[in-house]
Amino acid sequence: MSSTSQKHKNFVSEPMGDKPVTELAGIGDVLGGKLEEAGFDKAYVVLGQYLVFRKDEELFKEWLKDTTGANKKQQNDCFGCLKEWCDQFL
């Protein structure tokens, strides 16, 4: 049994296309709103940030925390979601 959420599974099961940031695991309405304010309105833009950090876990999580105030769990969920998506599709 895995410990990932349904949201995570949904996200990593297909190319993200134009999905909004709120489709990312760990990103709900509140964090999604903050990301959109910062200009990250689509999931692929957050993906871009993750890739620019060369997929570095620590940096990405710190960026997410700084930008949205995400807690540890939300950081982990979002990072894990993007990481697995990249493993599948990138």
Partner 1 sequence: MATDIADLNDEELREKLIEYGVNVGPITSTTRLFYEKKLGKLIDSGGNPTTQPETEESEEEEEEEDEEVQFNYSKSKPPVQPKPQYTSTPLVETPNPYKPVETSKPYKPVVQPRTATPTMPARRNVPSGTEETVYKKTEVPRNTAQKSGGGGGIGMWLKLFFLLSVAFLVYLVVINMNPTAENKIPLTFDGDN
Q: Which residues contact partner 1 by CB under 8 A? A: 1-2, 49, 51-54, 56-59, 62-63, 66
Neighbours of 74 (CB within 10 A): 21
Judged by CB, which is closer to partner 1: 20, or 38?
38
Question: Would you state the structure tokens that stand for residue 63, as one six-digit string?
Answer: 């960026």
Judged by CB, which is closer to partner 1: 11, or 40?
40
Judged by CB, which is closer to partner 1: 22, or 59?
59
Q: How far is the CB of 52 from partner 1 (least distance, A)?
A: 5
Phi/psi class of residue 36: alpha, beta or left (left: φ > 0; alpha: ψ in -120 to 50)?
alpha
Q: How far is the CB of 19 from partner 1 (least distance, A)?
A: 20
C-alpha 43: how far from chain center: 7
